[in-house]
Amino acid sequence: MLDFTQYGAGSLSESATAVATPDREHPLLDAYSNAVIGVTERVGPAVVRVETGDRTPGARSRGGLGSGIVISPDGLVLTNSHVVGVSRQIRLQDIEGVVTDARVLGVDPDTDLALLRADGARDQRYASLGNSRHLRRGQLVVAIGNPLGFESTVTAGVVSALGRSIRSVSGRTIEDVIQTDAALNPGNSGGPLVSSAGEVIGINTAIISGAQGICFAVASNTAQFVLSEIIRHGYVRRAYIGVSGQTAPVPRRHAVVAGIDNKMGALLAQIEPDGPASRAGLLPGDVVIKLDGVAIHGVDDLIRVLDRDRIGRTLKMDVLRLGRLREIDIHPVERKTVKQ
């Protein structure tokens, strides 16, 4: 739509001033454009298209499509676990159209990340993982990927918020998630979120259907942790006690009698037979309020505390049972993981 307001009432000199104003803003717009262009030229060649599924005509399996980022010259690629799924046939296509097969080194549904290796790939263009702890709200970020199948698409925006939590496909919460307004669409999943310095500070993972400008990326520091665990063990090690439960309120009278501050706790609904919780004497209906000195205000807190550092250790667990506080010793084991 044309805007003729600048040519309304007023002298010719005023109109000339109004027309000349954008010229003074030109250097600022150029700086923004140059930043996005620089990031795109630096990181764009390291972004690959990730295809899964059998391409044989008539095959029943339906392939998926996403993005990935090469993080080493020997072909290590980070993407989303939901892009890979259970597929064993992975193909990567780079910006020049070169297609190569890839194999899955490991997946971590709890953080929606997967690590691939391109077969026979050497001296590939790659990008570096940055430190997501240095991010600030309002910071310029660029998302690169293949939304809806459109290759090498670039969108720009800002870091809208830091430290978000979202639910992964496994039900576990992904912590320290970056929220951005850089436009993402199906196919962007697994692609990089890049800072103006050309460092990958997130792996794009989720959008909210129906919302505009609310997109999420797994922080690069989380990706670095998952990457190191998969390279070392083939999966991410986490502790396990054999319970299922839900977040539940702690009655005020019980909290007063027990001398605790918790308003919420992790209510145990089921105890796995012969699991660590069963052997420790935990019962359905117990409410966990503290584990290894860390206050538990819900199931998410309990899951978060059960990390690799607590595997094989005897921990103190405080639970409310029929309104009375009990201290129980529990010995978490390593969670069994189905390997690819």
DSSP letters of 183-242?
---TT-TT-EEEETTS-EEEEEEEE-TT-SS-EEEEEHHHHHHHHHHHHHHSS---EE--
What average pLDDT does this structure show over 221-244?
93
End-to-end CA distance of the chain: 55
Distance (Å, whole) CA 11 – CA 116: 65
Phi and psi angles of residue 294, each rounded to the nearest 5 degrees, phi first: -105, 125
Mean pLDDT of the chain: 86
- pLDDT band for position 212 (cuts 50, 70, 90): confident
Q: Give the model's pLDDT for residue 2.
A: 32
- Per-residue pLDDT tens for 288-327? 999 999 999 999 899 889 999 999 999 999 999 998 999 9
Residue whose tokens read 């993407």: 79
pLDDT at 170 over 70: yes
pLDDT at 142 over 90: yes
**Residues recognised as catalytic:** 82, 112, 189
Distance (Å, whole) CA 216 – CA 332: 32
- Per-residue pLDDT tens for 55-105? 555 555 556 789 999 999 999 999 999 999 888 789 999 888 889 999 999
- Per-residue pLDDT tens for 157-166? 999 999 888 8
The pTM of this model reads 0.80
Pick from 106, 99, 105: which is nearest to 120 by CA?
99
- Side chain identity at residue 116, one-letter code: L
CB within 8 A of 193, min separation 6: which ones? Answer: 141, 142, 143, 178, 180, 182, 200, 201, 202, 203, 204, 217
pLDDT at 186 over 90: no
Q: Give the model's pLDDT for residue 173.
A: 83
Which letter does DSSP use for residue 61 in this model?
Answer: S
